[in-house]
Amino acid sequence: MTEAATTPSLDTRTEAPARNQWWDVWDQFKTHKGAVMGACFFIFIVLAVYVGPWIWSIDPTYIDIRARNQGSSFAHPFGTDQLGRDMLARMMAGGQTSISVGLTAMGLALFLGTLVGVLAGYFKRIDGLLMRTTDLFLALPLLPLLLVMVMLFRQPLSASFGPETGIFILIVIAIGITSWMPTARIVRGDVLALKEREFVLAARSIGTRPGRMILRHVLPNVMSPIMVSATLGIATAIITESALSFLGLGFPPDFPTWGRLLFDATDFMQQHPQRVMWPGLAISLTVLAVNYMGDGLRDALDPRIRGL
Amino acid sequence: MLTYTIRRLFTAIPTLIFISLIIFLLLDMAPGDPTASLPLTIPPEVREQIRQSLGMGEPVHIRYLLWLKQMVWSEPMFYLSQSVSWIDTPDAARLISWQTRAPVLDTVFERIPQTLMVVGLAYVVGVLIALPIGVISAYRQYSVFDQAGTFVSMIGFSIPPFFSGVLMIILFTVMMPNDSFWWFPSIYDTTLVVDSWENFGKQVRQMVLPVMVLALQTTAQISRFMRASMLDNLNQDYVRTARAKGMTESVVVLKHVLRNSMIPVITVIALGIPAIFGGAIITEQIFKVNGIGQLLIVSIQGSDVPMVQTLTFIFAVLIVFFNLIADILYGILDPRIRYD
C-alpha cells in the first residue's frame, strides 16, 4: 500500500468539500428550470393526495344528496358530483390510486426491463432469444391486449383478492408486462458497451463471478438510463391506467381514480363542464411535470452535457 | 435489397403466427359463453348443440389451426371469389361473430372506412404540421419559436386524448354558441352521405374535432423527431462544404439537410401508423365514431371472442406490416444501411 497525499496542505483543492457524482448531477439538474418546477409540482401532488386527506377529512364516498351538483364554494372547493360527494376528497382518493398504480407499474416494468436488458447484454448465449422476445412484445397491439387482459382476469382476481386489490394487482401487472421493452433495449445497449471497458476486464481477471459483477459493476453504471426510463414510465403508466378507467374497464365505479372521475364527469359535460376539468388537469399536469423532470434528469445524467 | 426484403418478409411471418397464437390462447381463457346471450328458455341439450356448432367442442390446438386456416385461407378466398369470377366460392363456413351472427370480416370492412377517414386524415394533417415546425425549430434553435414548439409538443405528449378530446368538446360544442362558425358537432354521424356541397361541408365539420385531437399527438411526436434529426445534420461537415461553395441558405437547408434528415423521420412516420390505430380506440369512443376501435370496445364488453380475436390480429398485422415497411424504406433511402 502506498500512502496517498502525504502533504495535504499543498493541495489547494482540499478546501472544497468532498463531492461525488450525484452532487454534480444535482447541480446540473438545478439549472434546468422546467425540471425543477416539474419535480416541485410532482412532490406537491404526491403530498396533496397522500397527506391531503388528513387535513381535508371529508369521506370521498359520503353521499349528501341535497348538496349535489354544486359549484366551487368554501364547503366544497372543487364542487360536488351528481350524488353530492365532495370532489376535492374524491380527487385526493383518486390521485392516491392513480399515482400508486403509476409508481408500482413503473417499478414492475423497470424491474422486468432491467432484468431482461442486463441478462441479454451480459450473457451472449441468451441475447438472441431475449431480444427476439422483446421484439415480439413490441409487435403486440398493446392497448387492445390490455383491454382483453382486464376483461378476462377481472372476475377471478376480484374474487380472490377483493374488488379493489384484485383490480389494482391486475392493472399493475398488465401495465408492467406491456411496457418493459424500451427499458430492456436501452439497458442492453449500455451493458454491451460497458462489457468492453477495462474495469470490467480487470474485475473479471481477479475472478469476479457474473452475479457479483452485475450487481457491483454493471448495474450502478446503467443507473442513468434506468432513472430516465423510470420517470417516463410513471407518465405512461398513469396515462394507461386513466385510459383503461376512461374506457370503463378499470377500477369499479365506486372506487375513484382520476381516469374514472373524468369518465363519470363526461356524462354531465353539458351542464357541469368544470367537473371534467379537475381530473383532466390533474392527469395532464402530473404527466407534464414528470416529463419535464425526465427531461432535466436526462440532461443532468449525460456526462457530455454535465461538464459544461 | 431484394434478398433483404425477402428475408425480412420471412421473419415477419413467424412473428405474426406467434402473435396470433398468443392472442388466441389469451382469449381462449375467456369466461364468456357464446350462448349466454340467448334466451333462457332454450333447453340445455340444445344449448350444448349450439356450442358444438360454434366449434367449442374441439381441443385448443385444433381450434387454433382451424382459426388460422380460416383467417389466412378461407376468408381471403371468399373475398377473391366475390371480386373475380373464375374462383369458386369456398365451401368453408365464414367466421361468425357471436354478437351479431354476421361474418366478422364483413363487419370489420364496414367499419374500416370511418376509421381510415378520421385517423388517416388526422395522421396526414399531423405530419404536415409537424415537419415545418421541426425544421424551423432546428434551424432557429433556442429561439422563441423553438421554445414555443418544445412547449406545445410537451403538452401534446402530456395531455392524453381522453382529456384533450373532452376539452375540445367543451370548448367547441358546449361553450360555443350553436349558430357560430366555430361550433363543431361532437358526435360523428356515419349515416351522412356526401352527395352535395352542403353535406360535404357537414362531413368536414364533423371531422374537425377528432382530427384535431389525434393530430395534436402526432404533431408533438413527429416535430420533436424532425427537430432532433435536423440538428444532427446541421452540424455536419457537408453542410459547411455546401455553404462554402456559395449555395444559398434555402438550398442548403431544404435540399441538403432536409433530405438527409428525412431518412429517420420517414421510418418513424411509418412506425407510428399502427400506434395511431391503437390510440384511435379512445378518440373514436369520445366522438362516437363507429370505426374499428369502437367495434373492439363493444366486442370486448360483449365477450364476442371471434370479433376481438380478429380485430386484435388485424392490429398485430398492421404493426408487423408497417415495421417491415419502415425497415425496407430505411434500406432504400439510406444506401449505407443495406444488410445484404
A-chain residue closest to B314, CA distance: A141
- Which residues of chain B are within 8 Å of residue A151 when distances are taken between CB atoms? 30, 300-301, 303
Where do the domains of chain B lie?
105-333
User: Cα–Cα distance between B53 and B271 in angstroms, integer?
Assistant: 41
Tell me how far apart the alpha carbons of residues A184 and A119 are, in angstroms, rounded to a whole number.
9
The model's pTM: 0.84
Q: CA angle A58-A62-A68, nearest 5°?
A: 100
Any A CB within 8 A of B150 CB: no
Local structure of A80: helix, strand or coil: strand
pLDDT at A113: 94
Q: How far is CA B87 from CA A1, A264, B78, B94, B309, in A?
A: 88, 52, 9, 17, 27
- The answer to whether A98 touches A242, Cβ cutoff 8 Å, is yes
Q: What is the predicted pLDDT for the residue at B124?
A: 92
Options 3.40.640.10, 1.20.58.340, 1.10.10.60, 1.10.3720.10; CATH for B105-333 is: 1.10.3720.10
User: Mind telling me how many Å the CA of B1 is from chain A's nearest CA?
Assistant: 22
Cα separation, A306 vs A118, whole angstroms: 26
Candidates A147, A242, A273; nearest CB to B160: A242
Helix (H) or strand (E) holding A7: none
- B28 has pLDDT over 50: yes
Phi and psi of A149, rounded to 5°?
-60, -45
Question: What average pLDDT does the structure give for chain B?
Answer: 84
DSSP symbols for B83-108: H-TTSPPP-SPPPB-TTT-SBHHHHH
- Determine whether the interchain pair A139/B296 forms a contact, defined as Cβ–Cβ distance below 8 Å: no
Nearest C-alpha in B relative to A270: B174
Q: What integer pLDDT is reported at residue A1 of this predicted model? A: 44
Cell of B264: 429517420
| Confidence band for B338, pLDDT divided at 50, 70 and 90 | low
Residue B43 has pLDDT above 60, yes or no: yes
Low-confidence spans in chain A with pLDDT less than 70: 1-18, 303-308
Q: What are the residues whose beta carbons fall under 8 Å from the beta carbon of B4, sequence distance 6 or more? A: B328, B331, B338, B339, B340
Residue B52 has pLDDT above 80, yes or no: no
Best CA proximity match to B164, nearest among B128, B114, B210: B210
Is the Cβ of A291 closer than 8 Å to some Cβ of chain B? yes
Contacts of B319 in chain A (CB under 8 A): 139-141
Which phi and psi (to 5°) does residue A121 adopt?
Answer: -75, -35
CB contact under 8 A, B174 and A270: yes
Q: Which of A141, A243, A280 is facing B282, going by the closest CB pair? A: A243
Name every chain B residue with its beta carbon within 8 A of the beta carbon of A288.
154-155, 158-159
Mean pLDDT on B210-229: 89
Give percent above pLDDT 90 in chain B: 9
Provide ipTM, 2 decimals. 0.81
Verify whether the Cβ–Cβ distance B162 to A243 is below 8 Å. yes
